[in-house]
Amino acid sequence: MAKKRTFECTACGARAEQWAGRCPGCGGWGCIEELPASMAGRGPAGAAGRLGPVPLLSISADASAARVSTGMEGIDRVLGGGLVPGSVALLAGEPGIGKSTLLLQMVANLATAGSPCLVVSGEESHAQVAARARRLGVAAEAITFAPGRDLAAVLQSASEARPFLLAVDSIQTIRDADAAQIPGGVSQVRTCTDALVGLAKGQGIAVLLTGHVTKDGDLAGPRALEHAVDVVLTFEGDARSGLRVLAGGKNRFGSEGETAWFEMEPSGLREIDPTDLLLSGERVAGAATALPLAGRRALAVEVQALVGATEGPPRRQATGLDLRRFQLVAAVLDRAVGLGLGRAELFGASGGGVRIEDPACDLAVAAALASAATRVPPPPGAAFVGEVALTGLVRPAPGMAQRLAAARAAGCSTVFAPRGETNVLEGVRIVPVGQVAEALSWARRPAGTPSERRSA
Ligand code: TYD
Ligand code: MG
């Protein structure tokens, strides 16, 4: 015979044999919790009675022991060692940054590894989510789907299916039909979050919510619910380029400030190890360190160039770099420094092939090209920041504080940066640059080097 379960409203003390998202007694959302068997026999005591003292160590399972891997090492690390059953995490980011993609990849990993997952979406239809799963090539067999616009229906689906994880995409498209407010408004977002937190705590189902934040920092919805959830993850990047960074903010189950880096590819998000982006690891000709920005963080990435002689029409190819900008920087450099690149074959690449389209990487591209042409490596521990204008002027770059921090983290001690930069960081020397040539004084071709003979 199945064990009888007892649930009680923490607000009014009403009891029931079934869990519900909303208390039939007082109408409150997310306040129904399962009573431990030892308490179910006692009379209803309301909230006060349930909060009586119990032996401290009567809690059996250590939360960390029960953590479940998301199948993505970086996400596990940011979470503090995996997903905690019954915890509520918010994945916040700008529209288009890749939240739904990350959610689906995570859910597929969990489901494949034996933790059933229910995806509810108010953002996309069943067909759209299925099409995305196919496009991503994720193992979707063990994932179930339900529409995610109506709070009561979502709570019901979840309490019937009892998955390990309920993934809600997004908290702004779900609504409590009984409340008058519009979906996405702060009070709707709060009500729905409270109800989902109640589901997580009452049923031991982990909940992952996505939430949109806007560029100008207007975080009406997600900010308002940060206090209600256990973990806040932010997902950021420049939607034009491929770099993405997942960062842990508030975390009841782990340390704050951990990050995981990804690249958005046609086949979905690929986890990257930042140390793989600095390929050479030492000074070589044709390689320079760039500091592209992704959201509110920056990362050190090596850019490489190869310059070759040719009789025919010169080829120009770039991997990970924007080809038009690459050619433009080469043309400016030719003019400003006279490297004779005009008739040469030029190849450019980024470390790990990550797509970087941050214009402030121009100066690093210029340094890599100058280094390749002269066969002189850039100075030890140097990184380069600045957008290069057609006139050769090096324009200021946003996010300099983050770029300097990324430089220091990658072991760079010198940053060639646009003149007028006011940010400073201990341990990092800034070399102010007005014109592109000023950043390349080290790239003087010694007389009689092989490259000179070859191009003669
Ligand atoms: P999405 O996950 O829908 O973002 P969000 O849920 O945060 O709004 O991803 C949006 C962008 O990502 C979209 O512009 C297309 C791009 N994308 C890829 O580059 N590769 C992919 O495999 C997928 C699914 C999306
Ligand atoms: Mg989405």
Domains of the chain and any CATH numbers: 1-54 (no CATH), 67-272 (3.40.50.300), 276-455 (3.30.230.10)
What's the confidence (pLDDT) of residue 456?
Answer: 34
Q: What are residue 326's phi and psi, to 5 degrees?
A: -60, -45
Q: In this predicted model, which residue has the larger pLDDT, 262 or 33?
A: 262
Please report, in angstroms and rounded to a whole number, the separation of the first and last CA atoms in the chain. Answer: 91
Cα 97 to ligand 1 centroid, rounded to whole Å: 6
Cα 316 to ligand 2 centroid, rounded to whole Å: 36
| Ligand index nearest the alpha carbon of residue 101 | 1
Per DSSP, the residues of 264-317 read EETTEEEEE-GGGGS-SSS--TTEEEE--EETTEE--EEEEEEEE--SSSPPEE
446 has a pLDDT exceeding 50 = yes
Give the full edge-to-edge strand order of the sheet including 231-237: 143-147, 117-121, 165-169, 206-212, 88-93, 231-237, 243-251, 259-265, 268-272
Residue 77 Cα to chain centre, angstroms: 13
What value does the mean pLDDT take over residues 283-290? 94
Cα 168 to ligand 1 centroid, rounded to whole Å: 17
Residue nearest atom 22 of ligand 1, based on CA coordinates: 268
CB 415 within 8 A of CB 428: yes
Cα 115 to ligand 2 centroid, rounded to whole Å: 23
281 has a pLDDT exceeding 70 = no
Query: What is the residue-averaged pLDDT of the chain?
Result: 87
Question: Can you tell me which atom of ligand 1 is nearest the CA of 123?
Answer: 6
| Ligand index nearest the alpha carbon of residue 95 | 1
CA separation for the pair 330, 350 (Å, rounded): 16
Report the pocket of ligand 1 as residue ranges, CB < 6 Å.
93, 95-101, 132, 135-136, 264, 266-268
Instruction: Provide the token pair at 324.
Output: 């038009």
What value does the mean pLDDT take over residues 319-324? 95
Per-residue pLDDT band at 8 (split at 50, 70, 90) = confident
pTM for the complete prediction? Answer: 0.83
Residue nearest atom 18 of ligand 1, based on CA coordinates: 266
What's the confidence (pLDDT) of residue 452?
Answer: 41
Per-residue pLDDT band at 455 (split at 50, 70, 90) = very low
Question: Can you tell me which atom of ligand 1 is nearest the CA of 212?
Answer: 7
Cα 305 to ligand 1 centroid, rounded to whole Å: 30
Tell me which residue of 431, 445, 425, 299 sits closest to 370, measured CA to CA: 445
| Ligand index nearest the alpha carbon of residue 264 | 1
Tell me which residue of 221, 147, 153, 129 sits closest to 181, measured CA to CA: 221
What's the confidence (pLDDT) of residue 50?
Answer: 47
Question: Can you tell me which atom of ligand 1 is nearest the CA of 97?
Answer: 7
Report which residue type is found at 301.
V
Instruction: Assign 420 to helix, strand or coil.
Output: coil
CB atoms within 10 A of CB 308: 13
CA separation for the pair 80, 438 (Å, rounded): 45
257 has a pLDDT exceeding 90 = no
Tell me which residue of 201, 226, 257 sits closest to 90, measured CA to CA: 226
Cα 6 to ligand 1 centroid, rounded to whole Å: 43
Instruction: Provide the token pair at 207.
Output: 């909940």
Instruction: Assign 394 to helix, strand or coil.
Output: strand
pLDDT tens profile 393-427: 999 999 999 999 999 999 999 999 999 989 899 99
What's the confidence (pLDDT) of residue 79?
Answer: 95
Task: Sort strands 414-418 and 231-237 into parallel, antiparallel or unpaired.
Answer: unpaired
What's the confidence (pLDDT) of residue 93?
Answer: 92
